[in-house]
């Protein structure tokens, strides 16, 4: 594999040859198609579920002999999770492959979502510009439904392309933000942009006529799920012009546990044993909590005046009935 770039702190960007770039609902089990220009993410969010995708790519590369044994060692061991943040695979050919393989009729009316397993506007995008080129390719088609998920204000760089894409297709941008408390966010997201910068980008998008809202994903029990915290986030989103605010609970998959629970132990030690009890073997928390947090968010949306975005046309994954967890668990997990 060709190394395209290397940062001073050790992050390496590696070319990933691809034959296809669209992931179908059949492959992912989701209700939409997805495109990911990178595998791995420099932002290093401790709760990110997408680490499994990085592991899958690494194992396939090893099996094909494309990843030397010495290099594979970097992805194993107690700190193997760091590879997701420090070994970023770059799909340089993704825009050209998309142009050759995308057939709108094949989509069956489903949306295409960019950035489901990586942030398409992570710092690498400033150099490689793959996400921008993907959007330019999508803008050549008519009648698509396109969603984009990102934590980065860099998305505002591409307002021109998003507007052009929106002239022919339904487009929505989901700005990902778990809280407005910058110090809290930094504990959980090692290198992500500060909340104020994301909200500013959201405001720029909406003012430019791009449909955009906030995705609160994931909601972390006992950490970001308090009424005051959620209300502050919804108010900030509304002030920035968000057309919707969606939310999704933490999924504590095995790959997430290895990265996230040590952060909980260090920053919120009283919560650690409670987290270990609250999730089932699939990484899903009790369904009662889902219903309670959903009610809480619905009430706050009504009071503050922000819709959920469940209506057709937002071009991305919806709440899906998994928006929160249970009052009883909320009390147990509260700080």
Q: Which of 26, 75, 73 is nearest to 54 (CA)?
A: 75
Say yes or no to pLDDT of 290 above 90: no
Residues contacting 105, CB < 8 A, separation 6+ = none
> Which one has a higher pLDDT value, 67 or 218?
218
CA distances from 121 to 23, 112, 114, 128 (A): 19, 17, 10, 10
Q: How confident is the model over 270-289, as a mean pLDDT?
A: 88
Q: Domain range for residue 301?
A: 3-333
Tell me the C-alpha distance between 246 and 147, whole Å: 14
The mean of the pLDDT values for the chain is: 86
pLDDT digits (tens, 9 = 90+) for 152-176: 999 999 999 999 999 999 999 999 9
Q: Which CATH number is 204's domain given?
A: 3.20.20.70
Tell me the C-alpha distance between 73 and 321, whole Å: 40
Tell me the C-alpha distance between 173 and 50, whole Å: 19
The reply to whether the predicted model has a pTM over 0.85 is yes
Q: Which of 25, 121, 31 is nearest to 312 (CA)?
A: 31
- Please tell me the total count of domains within the chain: 1
Say yes or no to pLDDT of 255 above 90: no
Alpha helix (H) ranges present in 208-284?
227-239, 254-267, 272-278
333 confidence band (pLDDT: 50, 70, 90): very low
pLDDT reported for residue 16: 85
C-alpha dihedral, 297 to 298 to 299 to 303, nearest 10°:
100
């Amino acid at each position: 594999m060709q190394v395209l770039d290397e940062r001073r702190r050790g992050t390496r960007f590696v070319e990933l040859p691809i034959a296809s770039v669209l992931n179908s609902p059949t492959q992912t089990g989701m209700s939409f198609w997805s495109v990911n220009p990178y595998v791995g993410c420099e932002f290093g969010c401790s709760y990110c579920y997408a680490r499994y995708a990085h592991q899958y790519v690494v194992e396939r590369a090893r099996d094909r002999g494309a990843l030397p044994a010495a290099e594979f060692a970097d992805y194993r061991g107690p700190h193997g999770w760091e590879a997701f943040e420090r070994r970023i695979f770059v799909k340089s050919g993704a825009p050209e492959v998309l142009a050759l393989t995308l057939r709108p009729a094949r989509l069956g009316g489903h949306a295409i979502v960019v950035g489901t397993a990586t942030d398409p506007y992570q710092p690498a995008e400033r150099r490689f510009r793959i996400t921008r080129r993907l959007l330019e390719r999508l803008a050549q088609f008519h009648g698509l439904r396109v969603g984009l998920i990102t934590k980065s204000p860099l998305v505002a760089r591409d307002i021109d392309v998003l507007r052009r894409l929106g002239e022919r297709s339904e487009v929505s941008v989901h700005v990902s933000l778990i809280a407005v408390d910058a110090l809290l966010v930094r504990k959980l997201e090692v290198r992500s942009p500060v909340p104020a910068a994301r909200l500013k980008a959201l405001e720029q998008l909406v003012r430019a006529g791009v449909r955009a809202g906030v995705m609160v994903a994931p909601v972390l029990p006992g950490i970001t799920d308090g009424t005051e915290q959620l209300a502050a986030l919804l108010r900030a989103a509304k002030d920035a012009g968000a057309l919707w605010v969606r939310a999704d609970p933490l999924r504590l998959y095995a790959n997430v546990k290895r990265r996230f629970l040590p952060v909980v132990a260090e920053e919120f030690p009283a919560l650690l044993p409670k987290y270990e009890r609250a999730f089932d073997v699939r990484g899903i928390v009790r369904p009662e909590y889902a219903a309670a947090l959903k009610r809480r968010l619905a009430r706050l949306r009504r009071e503050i005046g922000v819709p959920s975005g469940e209506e057709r046309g937002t071009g991305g994954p919806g709440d899906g009935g998994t928006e929160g967890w249970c009052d009883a668990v909320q009390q147990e997990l509260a700080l």
